[in-house]
Amino acid sequence: MRIRILVDGKSFGVKQGDNLLHACLSNGLDLPYFCWHPLLGSVGSCRQCAVKSYDSEDDQEGRMVMACMESATQGCRISIDDPEAVRFRAQVIEWLMVNHPHDCAVCDEGGECHLQDMTVMTGHDHRRYRFTKSTHRNQDLGPFINHEMNRCITCYRCVRFYRDYAGGEDLNAFGAHDRMYFGRQSDGTLESPFSGNLVEVCPTGVFTDKTFKAHYTRKWDLQTSPSVCVHCSLGCNTLLGERYGEVRRVLNRYNADVNGYLLCDRGRFGYDFVNSEQRIREPHGRQAGAAAGEDLDQEAVLERCASLLKTDNSLVGIGSPRASLEANFALRELVGADHFYSGISAQEYELEGAVLKALREGPVRTPSLREVESADAVLLLGEDPTDSAPMLALALRQSVRQQPLREAMKAGIPQWHDSAVRGMIQDRKGPLFVATPVATALDDIATEALRAAPDDVARLGLAVAHVIDPQAPAVGGLAAAAQALAKRIAAALLSAERPLVVSGTACGSTVVIQAAAAVATALSVARAQTEVDPPLLFLTLSECNSLGLALLNPKPLAQLLKSGGKGVGGTAVVLENDLFRRAPAEQVDALLEGRSLVVLDHVPHATTERAHLVLPAATFAESSGTLVNNEGRAQQFHAALAPAAAIRPSWSWLRGAHAAARPLEAPPVSLEDLRNACAAATPELAEVWTPAATAEQTQTLRYAEEKVPRASFRASGRTAMHAHLNVHEPSPPADADSALAFTMEGFSSPDGQLIPSYWAPGWNSVQALNKFQSEIGGEQRGGDPGVRLIEPRAAGPSCYPDAAPAAYAARDGEWLVLALPRIFGGEELSNGSPALQERTPEARLVLHAEDGRALGLEDGDEVEVSAPGCSLRLPVTLLDDAVPGVAMLPLGIPGKGYLALPLRASIRRAPA
Amino acid sequence: MERPLTQNIDRGREPLGLKAYEAAGGYQAVRKVLTEMTPEQVTKAVKDSGLRGRGGAGFPTGLKWSFVPMGDDAPHPKYLVCNADEMEPGTFKDRVLLEGDPHLMVESMIVAGYAMGADVGYIFLRWAYRLADRRLRAAIAEATAAGYLGDNILGSGYSLTLHVHVSAGRYICGEETALLNSLEGRRATPRAKPPFPQVSGLWGKPTIVQNVETLCNVPHVINRGADWFRGLSRTEEGGTKLYGVSGRVKNPGCWELPMGTPIREIVEEHAGGMQDGLKLRGLLPGGASTDFLVEEHFDTPMDYTSIQAAGSRMGTGTMILLDDGNCPVGMALNMQNFFARESCGWCTPCRDGLPWIEKLLQAIENGDGHADDLDLLDAHARDLGPGNTFCALAPGAMEPLHSGLKFFRQDFERHIAGKGCPWS
């Protein structure tokens, strides 16, 4: 309910029950703060948001209160400008500055420091403390985070985020009084996969981005652009910062529905592949049969394209789940829909098919991450999102607080009153039920965690569905314990207000995905006649544009490979893809045999090595495009830098080649034209780019009649950048693909998806975000970016499989080898980032401890894994919390090539 | 004169064991409440007695208990916590009770526990009270064996488990909510109120935290009634009080006297007056975190209302004396040194303000004071006041500083002008 409060005599509309700091900030008022954070709530420790509160109109005296610790009530009166409050806030800053270094001018946080902003805001500018400052020893916290404890102002946000919000355990508050210390018990890598958020959560420079420090530049000298993370299927929104042709860092870009204020460490630190020395920077041609090739200039390359593509009326194109919708569509246009193939493995295609069926035909809605956070009972089947879709795991860590939170609210404790809420609900969590083949990082918050092979996970899921809706297939021969567990899960889901079922392709099993959909369907049937909210079904996919590619209806790659490419033309065009990661080498070899191969990509791999023509493609950081996340949300990313001379976005190469080969069929077009064509050709994508720009407009894309500058108006080094070469400043690169410009000039405060950075007068840190939200923690002014493409059918056909799979039976001497996703080392692009490489653990086969003992193995011993078409040697990790007869193999081991997981294999101790 | 709290205490011998304690009328209150009274009647009896918290804040005890949710719907387990973390400088009154009559402590816990429907009781004991720890554990063992503790006490259906928890030793643990965090194994930082512990206390459950001396009054109130209790006092506020005196008097110590006994009487008659050649300049009436009182206040009766009217707080009722042979700046420095060290580090004013004050006082004491240092001290004394800080530690620390600057300002100025301490 909206109410009105009086701040310094002026009336403001606020949400009843919000704390006063939240209410003031939502109304655009400037009130300094440190310990409060919209995600973390209030604890009242820093005392920075002090205001005067008055009991009534007659109260002239007032009393000092902390705005963050008081609820807004109808007609309440406060003053920010009261001289006593103003003086006290300046005094608080003076206390905080007692031990803080006075080195803003040379500090690497300077210019983007909340402490600096708040110090200026309170007017504290004269130092009266004349004694020694205390100093601390810094810790080595690993490759992501730099530690500089002397800057600490003891706001406690770091530990509250790291421990209370993200479930981390290895960062803590130590010491007491004015000798507080925030760090690890001893030096060492921060273990939480969300540690990078400390960079933004810390209001000053205690925790900073070590990868950024490695190629540091003043933050106001960065060119920044709104982007979308390419390192998993969730589509978190990011801000890329660039200087001198190099991506320097990734920051969170707020999207209330998706990632909110946070990113995972893969998303934040995986960017460095863009700067790789391995990058393909020149077009490269190789005549058929020749061992070596040559770099080509633009003219020669298009000629070569034309000759390769013109001569062949039935080209074959292989798309990519990590390339944009536009690039995939341009390829489909070039080769024709009949010859457009999905660049994913046979297994992946099947798994995706199961997900798509549930999304497109099922009656249950796929929630946003924000909705996941507010789910109050969760069933997680098959995978550990901490590794496959990390921000989902973080969202689930919030959902387990929902039911206990209700108790606190019933006791009259406002939700923002964080310490009181936590004091009351203590460690109560859930319900969250986890059923996976191996221990997960979410087990610590799980109500119950079951270890089972995928078929048994599916059987449990179907048993739950059957308990909820008897129309769902019955599961025969289920053990009594599993049946009882299914009943407990069903009861928890049925009694919840917002039940959620989670699974995804990382579980490697279509029957598990079907079972997850069945549980959600059963819930939706059971709840159909009631007033309660419908259930939710969240399914992860593998890559950043898996769903976007699928929506273009490509044919399965396996079909093409099985036929050995019979019936398709003599030239294959491969878009941003290494086929040797997608299929067995002999199948790929058979396809490539005797064919001309054109490959577009940004780093070399086995497929580019085989190509007759390699076209240097822009990464996401150098191009604009659209990705569709697992939720079916289409989101646009924008280039942070113009690509180097010979590099072009894939869609542009493809369109250029198309025009060169068949000029009548495909005149040169802009990105917007291509989008219009894509929307026209694909009904499901019709809404993605609305309102689409017309052909004339595309040449002069504008926001509010002006371009939006990527550089901040404080960018100080622009004219100096090339001065050692030429004192004439070169004109900035043009950007016809977006309304953004590579300059300092233009309209600098756009809304929505074009916001290139957060800045407002007096707010230089990331917390300037406050000024871009319609209300704190709510949606952005101008709406959050992204368009949802898939909504559930009102009363779709049943999503139940015909029958439950048979129970998993371990076979003597044979193991079921499953794919094990890994947050670091498990994703192709981020694997090229040095910081992530440092965090990538040795690839090990995970075996149940009993199996290991039976083989005479100890942890770390080497084993041989043998199956038809597969022979591997690697060390083992023995776990009690796994399934006997099931082995887990890390996904994406460099140099190990393609493995058709799951597979049956024999395992034995490797000979010395 | 009746001395109900200390009637069984003779420091020349071991405290009374169970049998002797029962023979002296002990555990009668337990029997009475379990057989004759409802929990509500017990709370009402305490309310009627006018008993106020003896830990320092003086909050009406019965009223505090009445906030605990009762009845079948009430959350369980409920907890009764005895705050025996007696860390206030100059204060040693609870020690007298804990060491001298542990069964009184145990009986008090049972009676108060019954009133609030507590399932579990904790005695949160100052780390240094090793003797009290031993004696309490022995008393609990005896009482448990005799059926006064444990399941279904004396067949009444009421059950209470009682534990002694020895604190790790921080002043802040005496703050009731920091105590609860500490008891839960968390950092000993205070919690925001509301919610009050009666609603969400230990492990989020309804909890009463009560000082030792307060609780020890309860069995007597039950046995003898509110009128008797009020009659013990020399003023409006009921009961007796343990008063203590430390400083350079002839006979420092702790005595149970009628509530409202005047300061001068306590100092002159019970503490034997100042040592020869010394004159009393001022005193902190109730521990280190209360305002100085000076000559003009020495006839004030020691009760909550009168001491407050005189400009200070009764606090724990154990006073620290400043004589004319001691340096008030040195005394202030000593106290601020303690408070700065004992700040938990949670809120900014306390964490960073107190050490600054300490450094300023040290500079003044060393002869390095600046002319405007007193302005800074004044500003801190004001800015570390109630409401500005998270809990009462820093405002308490400011009480002796603020009043010290008022009453002994010429001493501070002399230190600064003379570049050193005239006493050293």
Distances (CA, A) of A905 to A438, A816, B87, B94: 18, 7, 67, 72
Q: Who's near A281: CB < 8 A, 6+ residues apart?
A: A616, A644, A646, A647
Q: Which residue of A has its CA nearest to B341?
A: A177
Looking at beta carbons, which residues of chain B come within 8 Å of A412? 194-195, 199
Q: Who's near A862: CB < 8 A, 6+ residues apart?
A: A873, A874, A875, A876, A909, A910
Residue range B89-108, pLDDT digits in tens: 999 999 999 999 999 999 99
Q: How many CB pairs under 8 A join A and B?
A: 106
The pLDDT, as a whole number, for residue A704 is 66
CA distance A171 to A186: 10
CA A149 to chain CA mean position, Å: 29
Q: Who's near B229: CB < 8 A, 6+ residues apart?
A: B49, B50, B51, B217, B220, B221, B238, B239
Residue range A147-173, pLDDT digits in tens: 999 999 999 999 999 999 999 999 999
**A422's tokens:** 């936590």
Best residue of A177, A204, A406, A417 to probe chain B, by most B CBs closer than 10 Å: A177
Cα dihedral value A117, A198, A263, A271, nearest 10: 90
Q: What is the CATH number of the domain that holds B314?
A: 3.10.20.600
Of A180, A419, A424, Cβ closest to residue B345:
A180
Nearest CA-CA distance, residue B348 and chain A, Å? 5
Per DSSP, the three-state class of A653 is helix
CA distance B221 to A239: 69
CA distance B95 to B105: 11
- Asked, as a colleague might, if the bond just before B195 is cis with ω within 30 of 0, I would say yes
Cβ within 8 Å, pair B195-A420: yes
Looking at beta carbons, which residues of chain A come within 8 Å of B345? 154, 175-180
The answer on B227 and B244 residing in a single domain is: no
Is residue B13 assigned to a domain? Answer: no
Q: Which residues pair with A380 in a beta bridge?
A: A434, A502
Nearest to A253 by CA among A750, A864, A696, A812: A750
Nearest CA-CA distance, residue B51 and chain A, Å? 29
Cα dihedral value B159, B164, B165, B171, nearest 10: 110
Distances (CA, A) of A503 to A131, A382, A507, A508, A542: 58, 6, 7, 10, 12
Q: Does the CB of A523 have a partner CB in chain B at under 8 Å?
A: no
Cβ within 8 Å, pair B191-A46: no
Q: What is the CATH number of the domain that holds B140?
A: 3.40.50.11540
Distances (CA, A) of A9 to A56, A528, A767, A841, B158: 12, 50, 27, 60, 56
CA distance B105 to B132: 11
The answer on B386 and B265 residing in a single domain is: no
The pLDDT, as a whole number, for residue B47 is 97
Q: Does the CB of A417 have a partner CB in chain B at under 8 Å?
A: yes
Best residue of A70, A178, A424 to probe chain B, by most B CBs closer than 10 Å: A178
Nearest CA-CA distance, residue A118 and chain B, Å? 15
Is residue B293 assigned to a domain? Answer: yes
CA distance A735 to B183: 62
Of B195, B344, B388, Cβ closest to residue A88:
B388
Cα dihedral value A719, A725, A731, A734, nearest 10: -110
Q: What is the CA radius of gyration of chain B?
A: 22
Nearest to B333 by CA among B390, B282, B375, B288: B288
Is residue B39 assigned to a domain? Answer: yes
The answer on B209 and B125 residing in a single domain is: yes
The answer on B146 and B40 residing in a single domain is: yes
* Residue finishing a domain among B190, B211, B231: B231
Q: What is the ipTM of this complex?
A: 0.95
The pLDDT, as a whole number, for residue A695 is 45
Of A69, A177, A180, Cβ closest to residue B192:
A69
The pLDDT, as a whole number, for residue A795 is 56
Contact A865, A829 (CB under 8 A): no
Report how many domains make up chain B.
3
Cβ within 8 Å, pair B345-A177: yes
Looking at beta carbons, which residues of chain A come within 8 Å of B390? 44-45, 47
Q: Which residue of B has its CA nearest to A423?
A: B204
Secondary structure letter of residue A519 according to DSSP: H
Q: Which residue of B has its CA nearest to A419?
A: B191
Nearest to B50 by CA among B217, B175, B212: B217
Read off the amino acid at residue B388: N
Cβ within 8 Å, pair B387-A64: yes
Is residue B183 assigned to a domain? Answer: yes
The pLDDT, as a whole number, for residue A157 is 98
The answer on B390 and B257 residing in a single domain is: no
Q: Which residues pair with B246 in a beta bridge?
A: B320
Per DSSP, the three-state class of A726 is coil
Q: Does the CB of A26 have a partner CB in chain B at under 8 Å?
A: no
CA distance B45 to B49: 6
Nearest to A208 by CA among A187, A190, A226: A190
Nearest CA-CA distance, residue B125 and chain A, Å? 21
* Residue finishing a domain among B179, B210, B231: B231
Q: Does the CB of A69 have a partner CB in chain B at under 8 Å?
A: yes
Q: Does the CB of A681 have a partner CB in chain B at under 8 Å?
A: no
Is residue B4 assigned to a domain? Answer: no
Nearest CA-CA distance, residue A200 and chain B, Å? 21
Of A43, A50, A131, Cβ closest to residue B359:
A131
CA B55 to chain CA mean position, Å: 3
Per DSSP, the three-state class of B355 is helix
* Residue finishing a domain among B257, B290, B323: B323
Cβ within 8 Å, pair A419-B191: yes
Nearest to A118 by CA among A34, A224, A237, A21: A34
The answer on B165 and B124 residing in a single domain is: yes
The answer on B263 and B400 residing in a single domain is: no
CA distance A876 to A879: 10
The answer on B188 and B51 residing in a single domain is: yes
Looking at beta carbons, which residues of chain B come within 8 Å of A154? 345, 348, 351
Q: Which residue of B has its CA nearest to A179?
A: B345
The answer on B306 and B374 residing in a single domain is: no
The answer on B338 and B312 residing in a single domain is: no
Give the per-residue SS3 of A584-617: CHHHHHHHHCCCEEEEEECCCCHHHHHCCEEEEE
B5 burial via Cβ count (<10 Å: 0-12, 13-18, 19+)? buried
Is residue B291 assigned to a domain? Answer: yes
Best residue of B191, B351, B365, B370 to probe chain A, by most A CBs closer than 10 Å: B351
The pLDDT, as a whole number, for residue B263 is 98
Q: Who's near B15: CB < 8 A, 6+ residues apart?
A: B8, B9, B99, B100, B101, B102, B103, B135, B139
User: DSSP labels for A277-329?
Assistant: TT---S-EE--TT-S--EE--HHHHHHHHHHHHHT-SS-EEE--TTS-HHHHH
Q: What is the pLDDT along chain B (424 residues), one digit of tens a residue?
A: 899 999 999 989 999 999 999 999 999 999 999 999 999 999 999 999 999 999 988 999 999 999 999 999 999 999 999 999 999 999 999 999 999 999 999 999 999 999 999 999 999 999 999 999 999 999 999 999 999 999 999 999 999 999 999 999 999 999 999 999 999 999 999 999 999 999 999 999 999 999 999 999 999 999 999 999 999 999 999 999 999 999 999 999 999 999 999 999 999 999 999 999 999 999 999 999 999 999 999 999 999 999 999 999 999 999 999 999 999 999 999 999 999 999 999 999 999 999 999 999 999 999 999 999 999 999 999 999 999 999 999 999 999 999 999 999 999 999 999 999 998 7
- Regions of chain A short of the pLDDT cut 70: 311-313, 691-701, 703-704, 794-798, 894-895
Is residue B132 assigned to a domain? Answer: yes
| Pairing status of strand A10-15 against strand A2-7 | antiparallel
For residue A79, report the phi and psi dihedrals to the nearest 5 degrees. -135, 125
Q: What is the CA radius of gyration of chain A?
A: 28
User: DSSP labels for A553-569?
Assistant: -PEEHHHHHHTTTTTS-
Residue range A648-677, pLDDT digits in tens: 999 999 999 998 888 888 777 889 889 999
Best residue of A19, A43, A91 to probe chain B, by most B CBs closer than 10 Å: A91
For residue A169, report the phi and psi dihedrals to the nearest 5 degrees. -125, -15
Of B191, B342, B388, Cβ closest to residue A420:
B191
Cβ within 8 Å, pair A46-B348: yes
Of B341, B354, B390, Cβ closest to residue A44:
B390
Q: What is the CATH number of the domain that holds B341?
A: 1.20.1440.230
Cβ within 8 Å, pair A129-B356: yes
The answer on B210 and B63 residing in a single domain is: yes
Cβ within 8 Å, pair A64-B345: no
The answer on B49 and B176 residing in a single domain is: yes
Contact A288, A612 (CB under 8 A): yes
Nearest CA-CA distance, residue B202 and chain A, Å? 8
Q: Does the CB of A413 have a partner CB in chain B at under 8 Å?
A: yes
Cβ within 8 Å, pair A424-B200: yes
Q: Does the CB of A98 have a partner CB in chain B at under 8 Å?
A: yes
Domain that holds residue B187: 18-231
Q: Which residue has the tokens 């206040």?
A: B297
Q: Which residue of B has its CA nearest to A51?
A: B388
Looking at beta carbons, which residues of chain A come within 8 Å of B363? 131
Of A154, A413, A423, Cβ closest to residue B345:
A154
Looking at beta carbons, which residues of chain B come within 8 Å of A424? 195, 200, 204
Cβ within 8 Å, pair A423-B191: yes
CA distance A911 to A851: 18
CA distance A688 to A329: 14
Contact B332, A30 (CB under 8 A): no
Nearest CA-CA distance, residue A370 and chain B, Å? 28
Is residue B12 assigned to a domain? Answer: no
Q: Does the CB of A160 have a partner CB in chain B at under 8 Å?
A: no
Nearest to A319 by CA among A311, A310, A328: A328
Looking at beta carbons, which residues of chain A come within 8 Å of B191? 419-420, 423
Cβ within 8 Å, pair B343-A178: yes
Read off the amino acid at residue A659: A
Q: Which residues pair with B243 in a beta bridge?
A: B255
Contact B159, B147 (CB under 8 A): no
CA distance A283 to B306: 93
Per DSSP, the three-state class of B133 is helix
